[in-house]
Structure formats: C-alpha cells, structure tokens
Amino acid sequence: MNKAIGRYRWTICGLVFFATTINYLDRVVISLLKGDLEKEFNWTETDYANLVVVFQLAYAVGMLGVGRLVDKLGTKMGYTISLTAWSIVGVLTAFAKTTFGFGVARAALGLSEAGNFPSAIKTIAEWFPKRERALATGIFNSGTNVGAILAPLTVPFIAEFWGWQWAFILTGATGLIWLVLWLTVYDTPARHKKVSQEELAYINSDQDEQAAEENDEKVSWFKLLTFRQTWAFVLGKMLTDPIWWFYLFWLPAFLKAEYGLGGMEAAAPIAIVYTIASVGSIFGGWLPLNFIKNGMPVFKARKTSMLIYAICAVPVVFAQYLGSMGLWLAILSIGLATSAHQAWSANIFTTVSDMFPKKAVGSVTGIGGMAGALGGMAISSLAGKLFDHYKGLGHIETGYYIMFIICGFGYLLAWGIMHLLVPKYRAIELSSPKEPVKVA
C-alpha cells in the first residue's frame, strides 16, 4: 500500500526528527557541564535550579506566543525562525561570564526553542492522516532521546579537551546545517513536487478534517480555552512534562551524587537511559496504530495506550531502592520510566490533531507546552530546595526518593483527569463569531 501511495511524508518526518534531536542536544548541554560550571561560578543546587527555572519560564512564555505564530506563518517559516534563533543563542552562551549572563542566555534559549514542538506537531498534522500520526510523532519525538544520547557522548569530551565554551559553540552551530536542508526540501503537501496525487489523497483522507478546514476563521486563545479538550491536553501536559524535565536536567546530577560519576564516566549510563527511551517513543506510536488496524476506534486506541504507558511509569518509585543494590538496576528502572514518558508523549501530542482542526493545532500545542513548562518550573524549584536541604543533612538520597515517587504516579493522575474531561471522542467544531461557542 505504501508503495502505491508514496512515502515522501516519512522524509518530512525525518527532517522533524533531526530538528528535535538538535533541539535537545542544545538544551541538555548545561546539565552535562554542571560540575565544571559549579566550580567556575560557585553555584549551589538552588542556583542551578534557578537557571533551569529561567529556561522553563521563557519556554512557557515562548510556547504561548509561538504556537499562534506558527499557525499564522506556517510550519516552514515558523521552524526557520525558531531554529535560527536557538542556534545563534546556543553559540552565544559560550561567552557568558557571570551567573546572570547564563540566566539571560538560558532565557533566550528557552524562548527560541519553544518553536520546535508547535512546528513539529503542526507539520505531522499536515503531512499524515490520523491513523499514522502517533507513529510519526513517536519517531520524531525519539529525537529528544537521540539528542540526549549524543550529548553525553560528545559534550564531556569537547569540554575536557577544548573547554566548556566550545561545547556550547559546536552544538549550537549544528542547527544551521539542518536549516539549509529544511529550506531546500520542505513545502506543504499540496505544493510539493515529490508528493504524488495518491499520497496527497491519503494524507487528506480524514473526512472530518476536510469539513473542518473549509472554514478559514481564525481561532482565539480565549475560544480554545472554552473547550474541555483543550483543558484535557493542558492539564495532561502540566502534570507529565515536568517529570521529563526532571530526568533531563537532574539525571547527570543524580549519577554524580549517588555514584560519584561525572563527565565521561556518566556518558554510558545516560546514553543507555535515553536509548531505552527511544524504543518507548517509537513503540508508543506503533501500539495505537496496531490497535486501530485491529478495528479499535482511533480515540479509544489512543487512551488505552496512554493508560498502559502510565502504568509502566510507576516502577520508577523503586529506583532509589534498586539503586542501593547496584547502579544498573537504577539505570534500568529510570530507563523504563523515560521510555513510558516518551510513549505517553507521542500520544498526548496526537490527541490535539485528533480533536482540533489543523488551523488550531499550533495554538493548542503552544498552550499545552506553556502549561508543561510552568509545571517544569515548579518541579525544578522543588528539586533544588529538596536537594539542598537533604544534602545539608547528609542524606541527599532522600530527596531523590521523594522525587521518584512524584515521577512514578504523575501519569496515572494525568490520565484520570484527561479521562474525566473527555471520556469519549468528540471533534471540535469551531463556530463562527455569530454562533454561540459550545463547550464540548
């Protein structure tokens, strides 16, 4: 079937995958240089947490605005502006001379990196029918793991031989290479010369979306916030995104605090965690597709899969206990948890394009991304205070024990809230200004 209808949409998915890889490569550099920067700038755990919070606050603000911008300008220009900006900021971070300077750089990075996911989700919505979107999202979202894998394998090496400044410069510059490919290759399906009529018809095969897109009315944030579907996505992101932020920014610190691993010594454990997470990301997209192929409705397949992933995240509550028996038991339990998150993430993103017309996908994704970043700020502040407190008592492991409990049960809570808000599938109908707004 794929041979008959064409496969160029997967080339576009590959481009989005590489953009997401670069996005996370730039994002996690600071977590791997934490030890070096703590010595040079005399940071405490709270200082580091504050830098994470600054990034997340700017990311939240950026998410709210950039989703709207992407809906207005389109994915090609939205991605171009965002990636150019975050690449330049990544390079300029190398020239920060004070903690305040790092704060400014991290804020600018958060603001510019916010464009990745609204652009990516909108691209997938434009290029894939609903049945394939979770798989496509899982594939591009696995770029978050690849970026997190490449970082510990390259950043400590660069820092050791050339200095931490070059780690920021070289990782930031990689985005400019992708930009050339994006500007050369990308266009919308209807205008792309390499998309056959058969593949275009397949991409546009969801009849409910075709009807929704006939109305070109612009959609306000206030109107979007009147729908339960919006709040289901927003609260789901607010409760689960912070868990990923915690793994992303504190895993290297956990390995240092618990096992004395730093720099290149931590590279293998971190790479293994995110390799496992990559498997979860792709499996997370495959499972609902398999359910759909076996006759399960799309929305039910999505929710059933998400419940399975939420349950798979629970065993991380034992990470601290297992870690007391050996490093690799902790790594495997955290790896399972990150895998469950990525599987969850592939599907929660896709719920937006399941329920909303394409013209609103960027905006809703941005609102949810903002909520996730605000939740990330809260968990980073909590982690910084907990770790400083228990480090002072000589029992920092207690702080990690508390955080792993939060991480383990967050997904079940999120799934329950989302199910209460949207128990059954209902596509959003965006009424004209003269009609009353319906709360679904």
Sequence-separated (6 or more) residues with CB below 8 Å from residue 193? 187
pLDDT in tens, 232-258: 999 999 999 999 889 877 888 888 888
Query: What's the Cα-to-Cα distance from 284 to each of 86, 136, 139, 140, 297, rounded to whole Å?
Result: 28, 10, 9, 12, 17
In tens, the pLDDT along 178-200 reads 988 899 888 889 888 888 888 88
How many whole angstroms separate alpha carbon 29 and alpha carbon 35? 12
Neighbours of 334 (CB within 10 A): 27
209 contacts 359 by C-beta, under 8 angstroms: no
Amino acid at 381: S
Using the structure block, give the residue that is written with the tokens 């690849």.
146
First to last CA, the chain: 36
pTM over 0.75: no
The size of the chain, in residues, is 440
Cβ contact 412:311 at 8 Å: yes
Residue 334's pLDDT band (cuts 50, 70, 90)? very high
> Which pLDDT tens digit goes with each residue over 273-332?
988 988 888 888 889 888 988 888 888 898 999 999 999 999 999 988 888 888 899 999
